[in-house]
Amino acid sequence: MGDILGNGVSALLAFQRSLATVSHNISNVNTPGYTRQRTDLSTRPPQFTGVGYIGTGVQVTGIERVYDAFLNRQVVTNTAAESQLAQFHQLAGQVDNLLGNRSAGLSASLQRFFGALQDVADDPTSTAVRQTLLSSGQSLVQTFHTLSNQLNSLSGNVNQALITNATDITGLARGVAKLNGAIVNAQGVGSGITPNDLLDQRDALVTNLAKLVGVSTVKEDNGALDVYIGSGQALVVGLKSATLSTVGNTLDPSRKDLTLSFGGPPVVVTDQITGGRLGGMLQFRKAVLDPAFNGLGRIAFGLARTFNNRHRLGMDLKGRMGGDFFTEPQPQVLPAPGNGGSVAVTVADTSKLTTSDYRLTYNGSAYTLTRLSDGQTVPLTGSGTTASPFTADGLSIVVGAGAAAGDQYLIRPTHDGAAQIGLAITEPDRVAAAAPVRIGPAVDSTGTSTNTGTGAFGKITATAAATLPLSSDVTFTYDSTTKTFSYSGGASGSFAYDPATDSGKTFTAAGINFTVTGTPADGDKFVMSNNTGGVGDNRNALLLGGLQGTPLLVGATATYSDAYGQLVADVGSRTQQSDIAQKAQAALLQQAQQARSSVSGVNLDEEAAKMIRFQQAYQAAARIITVSDTIFQTLLNAVR
Residue 409 lies in a domain: yes
**Per-residue pLDDT, 467:** 65
What is the mean predicted confidence (pLDDT) over 623-634?
Answer: 85
Q: Could you read off the pLDDT of 73-93 as tens digits, one per residue?
A: 999 999 999 999 999 999 999
**Per-residue pLDDT, 466:** 58
Same domain, 27 and 120: no
Same domain, 613 and 480: no
Residue partners of 126: CB distance under 8 A and separation at least 6:
120
Residue partners of 50: CB distance under 8 A and separation at least 6:
none
Same domain, 216 and 133: yes
Using only C-alpha atoms, what is the Rg of the chain?
41
Residue 322 lies in a domain: no
Give the Cα separation of 52 and 562 in Å (integer). 95
Give the Cα separation of 261 and 267 in Å (integer). 6
**Per-residue pLDDT, 132:** 97
Q: Could you read off the pLDDT of 485-509 as tens digits, one per residue?
A: 999 998 899 999 999 999 999 998 8
Same domain, 474 and 405: no
**Per-residue pLDDT, 265:** 92
**Per-residue pLDDT, 451:** 85
Residue partners of 595: CB distance under 8 A and separation at least 6:
71, 74
The angle formed by the CA atoms of residues 559, 563 and 564, to the nearest 5 degrees, is 120
Same domain, 145 and 250: yes
Same domain, 120 and 205: yes
**What is the residue-averaged pLDDT of the chain?**
92
**Per-residue pLDDT, 5:** 85
Contact 58, 11 (CB under 8 A): yes
Q: Is the pLDDT of residue 424 over 70?
A: yes
Q: Is the pLDDT of residue 62 over 80?
A: yes
Q: Could you read off the pLDDT of 564-584 as tens digits, one per residue?
A: 999 999 999 999 999 999 999
What single-letter DSSP state applies at residue 492? -
Same domain, 564 and 633: no
Residue 211 lies in a domain: yes
Residue 454's SS3 state is coil
**Per-residue pLDDT, 547:** 95
Q: Is the pLDDT of residue 536 over 60?
A: yes
pLDDT band of 445, cuts 50, 70, 90: low
Same domain, 85 and 219: yes
Residue 403 lies in a domain: yes
**Per-residue pLDDT, 460:** 73
Same domain, 244 and 361: no
Same domain, 511 and 397: no
* Bridge partners for 12 per DSSP: none
Domain of 110 in residue numbering reads as 72-287+559-593
Q: Could you read off the pLDDT of 136-169 as tens digits, one per residue?
A: 999 999 999 999 999 999 999 999 999 999 999 9
Residue 178 lies in a domain: yes
Same domain, 55 and 85: no
Domain count across the chain: 4
Residue 225 lies in a domain: yes
Residue 184 lies in a domain: yes
Same domain, 582 and 608: no
- 530, 550, 570 - which closes a domain: 530
Residue type, 170: T
Distances (CA, A) of 472 to 449, 465, 486, 487, 528: 20, 17, 16, 12, 9
Give the Cα separation of 361 and 86 in Å (integer). 36
Q: Could you read off the pLDDT of 207-252 as tens digits, one per residue?
A: 999 999 999 999 998 999 999 998 899 999 999 999 999 999 999 9
Residue 296 lies in a domain: no
For 318-331, the DSSP string reads TSPBP--SEEPP--
